[in-house]
Amino acid sequence: MPADPIIAEIRSRAVGLGFSRIGIAPVGRPPHHDAFQAWLTSGLAGPMQEWLARHEPLRDDPASLLEGAKSVIMLATDHATGTVSPAAAEPGLGRVARYAWGDDYHDLLRSRANELARWLEQQRPGCRTRGVVDSAPLAERDFAWLAGLGWFGKNTMLIDPRAGSFFFLTAILTDLDLPADAPLMTDHCGTCTACLDACPTQAFPAPRVLDASRCISALTIEERGGVPEDLRAGMGDWIFGCDICQEVCPWNRHAPGSGEPAFQPRQTGESLSLADLLNLDEAGFRQRFKGSPLLRAKRHGLARSAAIALGNRPHPPAFATLAAALDDGEPVVREAAAWALGRWIEVGVMPHEARAALAANDQTVSSTSVAGSRPGPSAE
């Protein structure tokens, strides 16, 4: 296809709006959709199973999102701020995935995508566009791969050899027939298995296969009920998302940082007081995390994860708050708090106080084992 002069203008405009990189792919059936269907059939989507299965037919046909779509403009936005997280947060604090340290990226990227789409429609009157930022069943990673923005790492993340994997994807579907970029065919992972080896919940049954029912990110963000007990110790002090498989990736050693103000950490954005989270009511939760990605976890989900983190790393100053959570209005928080106190008993951290708190709540203690059958946490 002859070079279209508008391509250079699109790239320049995109970078001017704050996107880091751009690639263009043809619209068609996602090249890995058969593998996606097999993954769904295997039940590996965890808490996302129902939503993904319901929207699978739309994902199979991108033109269903924009009739007559011929091209998809894929945009990458680097988001890394600060330094790589330490092995653990300070006692009493819980860790948050790097992408959620600042404001909700959806709002910023949607605004930029809409502005780029409007500009394109002005340049080519009559053309139609649709921007997508995690808001529609589109196989963004597949089209980003087709557009040359990276290869699929063994942790299933898209990795750019120039920028690692700490970036967001945004898509703009259009009925313009734009010249496509070439996909990155080389697998740069080689024999490295750092990401697979580092996952504390063994969420990768095979390279490039994620068992979302065991993934810390899915458990802390998407799971609305209780977390299976055999996975709780592996969650460590993560309370929203997880960066472990990305932090150990050699390709992220020199990942470009981001100076975007919206991505900079809010107050204590990198780690949060677990006791403070357990103390929040619904109104307080919404006020504190307004405009933050953490709203997605819901108040009870974040409090549940905070209790689990306190079970994994007992912190005596938080005892009163954890004990009070036994009377939380949400059953999933009450159960997690009881489990956490049981863990304190196992490792001898305030065992008498923990037993007394559990005994004062007969309904909780009757359904909570405090026997030493589970692996003990590290006491702080």
Residue 63 lies in a domain: yes
Active site positions, annotated: 134
CB count within 10 Å of CB 273 equals 18
Residue 125 lies in a domain: yes
Structural domain for 120, as ranges: 6-82+101-174
Residue 168 lies in a domain: yes
DSSP 8-state secondary structure symbol assigned to residue 293: G
Core vs surface per residue 286-318: b (16+ CB within 10 A) or e: eebbeebbbbbbbbbbbbbbbbbbbbbbbbeeb
Q: pTM of the full predicted structure?
A: 0.92
Residue 196 lies in a domain: no
Instruction: Measure the CA–CA gap between 71 and 176, rounded to whole angstroms.
Output: 6
Burial of 254 (0-12, 13-18, 19+ CB in 10 A): exposed
What pLDDT does residue 363 have?
43
Residue 293 lies in a domain: no
What are the E-state strand segments in 83-218? 93-96, 129-132, 151-152, 158-159, 167-174
Residue 232 lies in a domain: no
What pLDDT does residue 247 have?
95
What pLDDT does residue 83 have?
64
Helix, strand, coil % in the chain, rounded to nearest 5? 45, 10, 45
Question: How many domains are there within the chain?
Answer: 1
Residue 278 lies in a domain: no
- pLDDT, tens only, 3-51: 678 999 999 999 999 999 999 999 999 999 999 999 999 999 999 999 9
User: Long-range pairs for 29-34 at CB < 8 Å and ≥24 separation?
Assistant: 29/60, 29/61, 30/59, 30/60, 30/62, 30/139, 30/142, 30/143, 31/142, 31/145, 31/146, 32/139, 32/142, 33/59, 33/60, 33/139, 33/142
Block means of pLDDT (10 residues each) for the chain, 380 residues, are 79 97 97 96 96 95 95 97 71 95 95 98 96 93 98 98 96 97 94 98 98 98 96 97 96 90 82 96 96 96 98 98 97 97 96 95 49 34
Q: Which two tokens stand for residue 203?
A: 């969420």
Nearest to 301 by CA among 309, 291, 312, 290: 309
Residue 257 lies in a domain: no
